[in-house]
Amino acid sequence: MKNQKVIEWVLRVAVAGEFLGHGIFALQGKPDWVGWVTQLTGMAQDPATQIIMLVGVADVVLALLVLFKPIRPLILWMAVWGLFTALIRPIVGMPIWDFVERWANWGAPLALYLMMKSSK
């Protein structure tokens, strides 16, 4: 049981770090990400930048929640979102390896979700 709590905390910190880092990049209006939104939606740059900023706020909030008050449905959302954002890379023309490299972006939240389910 003690090992499971340690593993859970390692996953919580890892997932929080991923979402905090991505959230800060989004709040900075990372040009590649804004470009992907415009490429995929046909949206102008200003609204695409606003969407990326909103995503950044959501990612930072999720990072803090997973550390201080993990909520299982939100952790499942983090896994889905991590998979989606990893899949965007080959969709916008990047090599498939950019997707493979990001498997932990959805795998770690999914593992945390499953671990939290089994410990309740």
Task: Summarize pLDDT for 9-18 with one digit per residue, the tens.
Answer: 999 999 999 9
CA angle at 58 for the pair 53 and 79, rounded to the nearest 5°? 120
Alpha carbons 49 and 6: distance in angstroms, whole number: 38
**Does pLDDT of 120 surpass 60?**
no
d(CA 67, CA 61): 10
The predicted model scores a pTM of 0.91
Q: What is the pLDDT of residue 119?
A: 57
